[in-house]
Amino acid sequence: MVALLWLVGAVILAAGEALSGDFFLLMLAGGALGTAGVSALTDFPVWGDAIVFAILSGALILGVRPVLTRRFSTPPPTPTGIAALTGRSAQVIDAIDQHSGTVRLDGDVWTARPLDPTEVYTAGTTVTVMKIDGATAVVWKGP
C-alpha cells in the first residue's frame, strides 16, 4: 500500500516537472519512484522509506541534475549586427583623435573616436572596438 502512495507521488512530481522545467521535481520524482520500488520489496517502516527517499533524491539532485541542466540549457544568444562588432579588431585608416578618424572594421570603413579622449591613434595602428555609439566605433589600443 505504501509503495502505491510513493508511486502516485512520483507521478504527481513528474507532472509538476512538466510545468516547471528545471529538473528539480523530476529528481524528486525519481527518488519517489525508487522508494516505491524499495517499499514494495522490503518491510521498512514509513520513516525508513523517508530516509530512502531523501538519500535517492539527494543523490539525483547532486549527481544527475547538474548534468541535465548543462545538457539542456539554452546557449547564450549569438550577438548579431552592431552588437557582434564589440571586441573586434580594427585597422586605423585616418588618424583618430577626439574629433575625427576612421577605421576599417570587417571590410567596412567606420568613423571612430578613442575611448580615452586624450589619446591619438595613427594610421596603421590596430585597435579594439569597445562599443558602437551610433555610427561611430569607440576604439582602444590597449596595453
Distance (Å, rounded) from C-alpha 130 to C-alpha 87? 6
CATH 2.40.50.140 fits 81-140, yes or no: yes
What residue segments make up the domains of the chain, in order of their start?
Answer: 2-72, 81-140
Q: Is the pTM of this model over 0.85?
A: no
Write the DSSP string, 13-43.
HHHHHHHH-SSHHHHHHHHHHHHHHHHHHS-
Q: Are 13 and 32 in contact (CB under 8 A)?
A: yes
- In tens digits, the chain (143 residues) has pLDDT values of 888 999 999 999 999 998 888 899 999 999 999 999 999 999 889 999 999 999 999 999 999 999 999 988 888 888 888 889 999 999 999 999 999 999 999 899 999 999 999 999 999 999 999 999 999 999 999 76
Q: What is residue 96's DSSP assignment?
A: B
